Structure 1
Amino acid sequence: MAEVRQSGGRVVVVDGSCGLEHVVSEVEGHFADVLAHGPVATSQSERRQLLRYANRAFVVQYQTFLTRSWARALGDTSDVVLPFSCECAREGCEEQIDLAVADFPAPPDGTSPPLLASGHGIYETLAS
């Protein structure tokens, strides 16, 4: 944390002394400009693409981590189970799917099936 502060970075301490709403407010305030100019999903299809991008980022991080010789003792991608976001892309969906990294749908992401929570499907709506 000291290195972050010395570099001019902002630190939000999450130690239970503040509620979740306060932490979210701090993070949103810090990233407000980036969020305002960042990618914005205007349809369920675009939201699904962003969810896949985020899920894929976790897969790549763990695949890369597990290539280190000292990390191999932890197992491989079939041993690491992560909570992935449901890719139904319905507004308000916060479901997660526990899945081994090795079982995440293979690329290319544009043609691999979406990762869906139980009972969720792909429904395009006019008001997405």
Structure 2
Amino acid sequence: MSPTTLYLAKLMGAYSLFAAAWLMWRREAALGLVDRISNDPVFESMIGTLRLSVGLAIVLGHNRWGGVLEALVSLVGWIALMSGIATMFLPTGTLRRAIVWMRFREKLSLYALISSLLGAALFIGGVTA
């Protein structure tokens, strides 16, 4: 396993675990941030730019699909890249409609659980490989 894969797995895993904890412990702040971002074209563009940058960095530096951990790291990179492109170039309000469609407010605990499971898998994979 490459050192890049292990580093990115630990980084993404730790970030996902912290994000999940933040979603649960600071629920109102998280919902307020999501509302603010999804209702402001400037914030929406900024988030798209950040997603694009992170996705490009991962895809250009780590586009490996040989093992489960490598594939998971690469998949997260491609998802970040595609969501960044979509957020930047789809019409304003698309992000807001996606959040409503996902029922983010009602299913916040589920999304936090998914984030924590993904984070745990990545972090443990990165530490134990």
Q: TM-score with structure 2 length normalisation?
A: 0.31
Flag the structure with higher helix content.
2
Q: TM-score with structure 1 length normalisation?
A: 0.31
> Which structure would you say has the larger Rg?
1
Flag the structure with higher strand content.
1
